[in-house]
Amino acid sequence: MSDTRSLRVALLGAGTVGGHVARLLLEHHDELAARAGISLDLVGIAVRDVNAKRAVDLPAELFTTDAETLIQGADIVVELIGGIEPAKSYILAAIGSGADVVTGNKALLAEHGAEIFAAAARVGAEVYYEAAVAAAIPIIRPLRDSLAGDHVERILAIVNGSTNYILDRMDRFGDSMEDAQRVALELGYLEADPTLDVEGYDAAQKAAILAGLAFHTTVPAAGVHREGISSITLEDVESAREAGYVIKLLAIAERVADDAGVEGVSARVHPALVRRDHPLASVHGGNNAVFVEAEAAGPLMFYGAGAGGVQTASAVLGDVVSIARRHLAGGVGVGESVAADLPVHPIGAAETRYRISLEVDDRPGVLAELAGILASRGVSVETLQQSTSAADASASAVASDDVAASGEADRATATLVIGTHSARDAALAAAVEALAASDAVESVRSVLRIEGA
């Protein structure tokens, strides 16, 4: 150790992540002190219930329910409570009392990050949050520091492990959406409220953080377009596989210019078709990966565990050591860079490709009609695949009075899969709406974006 002083570390929360952070701070005390250059002393752990049974055995005398008092005496406050309040008030109190902060709280940073970073900047404090996106995977510091001299063009990321687990089961084992969700729930992959994962809220919070960092801009969670995976069927997954794709829930952040040529940021979360030879296609189970495309560095992929108590604790402890090193070096915290201050554009400004699966009338002139609808919206067809519809075959086989009475049995249909060239999402969405309204279209079976090609 190069210094005999110590830094007082206050831990807020001793749950899945906090319990391991406390254990590792105690077990690896001397090693961490040697690396940081200063002793990191865990002075207390604030929880709701000091008598609660815990997965990790920790000294009883460290526990308190008085978070406010604990914060006042700390140099570094590690917030691992989660949620908005009281986590936000505790973090602001810590900054106000001169402490630096480590947090893994993506929900809080996505909603109130700007306020927290501004408070820290006013007093020269640090707020580190490596665990907030993709848990154990180092991605915050690479974006904030390592790529600070580059020009990030785009990020495609799998940042929600439970939905990746569900989609991966459907793809590899042929599970239905319901069965895959049930297994994910049984294995504890899903949050207590599964809609946070399944409907993309968790991924959208992480997308907001990634987009802000990558483009030096404040991106609020409300600025992230969000679609979940609940509408994805096994049929979609199998059809994607036949075409050489896998379906992933992607968090995407990219630079785009809108129709007026104004450069801005597009941040969105939605299921997408990813080519099977893309690095993200090989991210299986509950793992996460962040694929960064930078002007000078080219493509980079960060991969690993996106959740888990001990895995996430690794990222938290890295932040604690970094803060300790800066304490020793002296000076004020670096703070967040929002210098670019770009506008956040709506999903309509994004450029993407669609794969549209339609049930259409099988009669002369239909293809020309549908191609005309697409062309009139500025959407160009790249691929077209037609097959005789299973629905048609069964319609003629089933002697249903209702069907026969309505004349539907005589109506030959085909399945048409249209792959488009790249176009504005607004144009593609308008084209799908017009296709759905066409007399030639029986139904729109699925619409999926193709990303990463």
Least separation, in Å, of the C-beta of 92 and ligand NDP? 15
Residue 205 binding result from ligand HSE, ligand NDP, none, given CB thresholds of 5 to 8 Å by partner type: none
Chain residues that interact with ligand NDP, rule: CB under 6 A: 12-18, 46-49, 52, 67, 80-82, 86, 104-106, 131, 135, 307-308, 312
Least distance to ligand NDP, CB of residue 82, Å: 3
Residue 350's binding partner among ligand HSE, ligand NDP, none (Cβ under 5 to 8 angstroms by kind) is none
Select from ligand NDP, ligand HSE, none the partner in contact with residue 82, using the beta carbon and a kind-dependent cut-off of 5 to 8 Å.
ligand NDP
Nearer to ligand HSE, 75 or 175 (CB): 175
Q: Is residue 350 a contact partner of residue 266, using CB atoms and an 8 Å limit? A: yes
**286 labelled as ligand-binding?**
no
Tokens 């969405």 locate to 429
- Concatenating the DSSP letter of every residue in 124-160 gives T--EE-GGGTTTTS--HHIIIIITTTS-EEEEEEE--
Report the sign of the C-alpha dihedral through residues 251, 13, 140, 125, in that order.
positive
Q: CB of 204: closest distance to ligand HSE in angstroms? A: 12
Q: Which two tokens stand for residue 98?
A: 């001169």
- Is 186 or 402 the residue whose CB approaches ligand HSE more closely? 186
191 touching ligand HSE, by CB under 6 A: yes
80 is in the binding site of which of ligand NDP, ligand HSE, none (Cβ under 5 to 8 A by kind)?
A: ligand NDP
Closest distance between ligand HSE and the C-beta of residue 193, in Å? 10
188/202 Cα distance (integer angstroms)? 16
Classify residue 60 by its DSSP letter. Answer: G
Q: For ligand NDP, give the closer residue by CB, 104 or 264.
A: 104
Q: How far is the CB of 439 from ligand HSE (least distance, A)?
A: 43
Residue with smallest beta-carbon separation from ligand NDP: 15
Of ligand NDP, ligand HSE, none, which one does residue 46 interact with (CB within 5 to 8 Å by kind)? Answer: ligand NDP
* Cα dihedral sign, 176-178-183-189: positive
Task: Sort 422 into a burial class: Cβ within 10 Å, 0-12 / 13-18 / 19+.
Answer: middle
> Of 32 and 131, which CB lies nearer to ligand HSE in the complex structure?
131
**CA atoms of 120 and 105, how far apart (whole Å):** 16
- Considering only residues 338 to 367 of the shown chain, the ones binding ligand HSE according to CB under 6 A are none
Among 306, 318, 333, 452, binds ligand HSE (CB under 6 A): 306
Decide whether 49 or 341 has the Cβ nearer to ligand NDP. 49
Least Å distance, CB 103 to ligand HSE, is 13
* DSSP string of 74-142, one letter each residue: -SEEEE-S-SSTTHHHHHHHHHHTT-EEEE--HHHHHHHHHHHHHHHHHHT--EE-GGGTTTTS--HHI
Q: What is the sign, positive or negative, of the torsion defined by CA atoms of 41, 43, 48, 50? A: positive
Q: Is 101 annotated as a binding residue?
A: no
Burial class from Cβ neighbours inside 10 Å (0-12, 13-18, 19+) for residue 131 reads buried
Number of neighbours of residue 376 by Cβ within 10 angstroms: 11
Is 73 labelled a binding residue? no
Residue 18 among known ligand-binding residues? yes
**Contact of residue 347 among ligand HSE, ligand NDP, none (CB under 5-8 Å per partner type):** none
- Does 197 bind ligand HSE (CB under 6 A)? Our answer is yes
Is 199 among the residues that bind ligand HSE (CB under 6 A)?
no
Tell me if 249 is assigned to a ligand binding site: no
**For residue 20, what are its two tokens?**
């391991």
Based on CB atoms, which residue is closest to ligand HSE, 191 or 369? 191
Give the closest residue to 99 by CA, choosing from 118, 136, 64, 124.
124
Distance in Å, CB of 46 to ligand NDP, minimum: 5
Tokens of 437: 């309204």
Do 281 and 246 form a contact (C-beta atoms < 8 A)?
yes
Task: Supply the residues annotated as catalytic.
Answer: 206
Is residue 12 annotated as involved in ligand binding? yes
204 is in an annotated binding site: no
Residue 307 in the binding site for ligand HSE (CB under 6 A): yes
Based on the number of CB atoms within 10 Å of its own CB, is 173 exposed (0-12), middle (13-18) or buried (19 or more)?
A: exposed
Binding mask 149-178 for ligand HSE (x = CB under 6 A): -----------xxx----------------
Please report, in angstroms and rounded to a whole number, the separation of the first and last CA atoms in the chain.
Answer: 50
- Enumerate the known binding-site residues for NADP(+): 12-19
- Enumerate the known binding-site residues for L-homoserine: 191
- Enumerate the known binding-site residues: 12-19, 106, 191
Which residues would be at the binding site for ligand HSE (CB under 6 A)?
135, 160-162, 191, 197, 202, 306-307
